[in-house]
Structure 1
């Protein structure tokens, strides 16, 4: 990972608001895409039902006029209506077939891409219309509606009308793509505007708060770190700055107190050393006892005068070091 990629990665990780806005935008676009796909399916189903109903009406009409045409062997009118029906771009073939299965009249839209493709792939002959119709009927994207030709309760044949959903599907998907592109473009623009506004109103103040907290941890407060804005972020930023200033002042006071205490302790240690030097070098015994008469302090002169060390004497009663003949008299004086 080069420096630019590392810089972008660091920026992305440090911008929580931007990161979640982008994730939310991607989620919204995904939801929009799924909704568009569901809508396409619903529209396709609705268009298919509509086209099937239209085909049924056309077949019923053609079967009605076909009976008389078959009896009179006059198929010109039937062929005219059949041609008119096939001119509808959704219908790809139509045929009137007698009871022996012989086509009386048949129309196929040879310019239709689906039919042209099937003719080329399967090498079908254009003049064999019934074979082409039977072949197209087996395709999953081609639907056929048929109706018997009845005249005076006599079965004379049937009308077959085929239609394809390829055109409808293509148009629906093209419209969906256009709608999705427009929607994604508008969403992208809206998200960009929101990110810019959010970055200005929230991101920048939060960044300043972060910098303020960082300088506070380093005990360096920039006095020029002024706050701007009267909104919630601005108020928080101002409060943080005041708190940081107060903490900085308290730290300075505490440092001053520590310095003064260190000076005082140093002076006390120096006086104590001088006092101890005097006490340890004086020829007279200096001592201190507690309320029960036990030694709690003895200077070095004690050892020189008595021969007992200071360490072994401390904690013992002073009467232990007095001759028995003088002990009672000394205790009476001590109790006074």
Structure 2
């Protein structure tokens, strides 16, 4: 959902309007702006809500955003922020710690951790999750310890894939009946990320066990188009036996193979009816979602949706023509 586009605001009012919008969304903070070539700032801010998680996409001219413990005292709203740079190169600063941020990097911080800052110069954009600290249910000291270690966590690439995938489909997913579950899954991944680099072995194991299914499904979702995605590979990535993986899924009323097939079918259906994929054959779409046999794909597709892939594409074409 669009929260602000400064193109709709008079240039002389943009900084004030942007500041008011950000304060309303993220609480007390400080912001400095780098003007564009025309001497004015240009910003676009979008936001979505998935249960306990707020998600933001911030794009435009360069900027510097920071929070300190003073801002926490001003509004008593302690939040956990999880950010990545969608485009451009940014920087993350936490007290004396410095990190360059690209689309392949992630950082986590909180208002209670002292001074933290993110910035970029020139055109750029960021994706951010914001969660009330009490929802994370981990000690502040554990979160503070994790901040400079996030890059070493095995959960980081899983959460990065989750962030970028959610951003791509945020408008549709926010209105989905499963939006609350998406938020809870995101919350579990953030908890797993923080705990995975904790020095407390007991906490790391406890949170790791608690969030294992969420991490497994997030990994599978990120690799649905890989033709060699198998339960054995999923088990190996998560350092558990194949038997343990099946038991985990059974305990949660889930068949992993059927879950994978269903998500692949849903992805193929989206591509079949999307105008930007109209030039691709049904077989090419099926293959891109891991279905090597056209006959097997057609049978599975009809069983899931009650029509053939060709009929689904035709329905998509009819809707696009209206």
Q: What TM-score does the superposition give when structure 2 sets the normalisation length? A: 0.20
Between Structure 1 and Structure 2, the one with more helix by share is 1
Q: Point out the structure with max Rg over C-alpha.
A: 1
Q: What TM-score does the superposition give when structure 1 sets the normalisation length? A: 0.19
Between Structure 1 and Structure 2, the one with more strand by share is 2
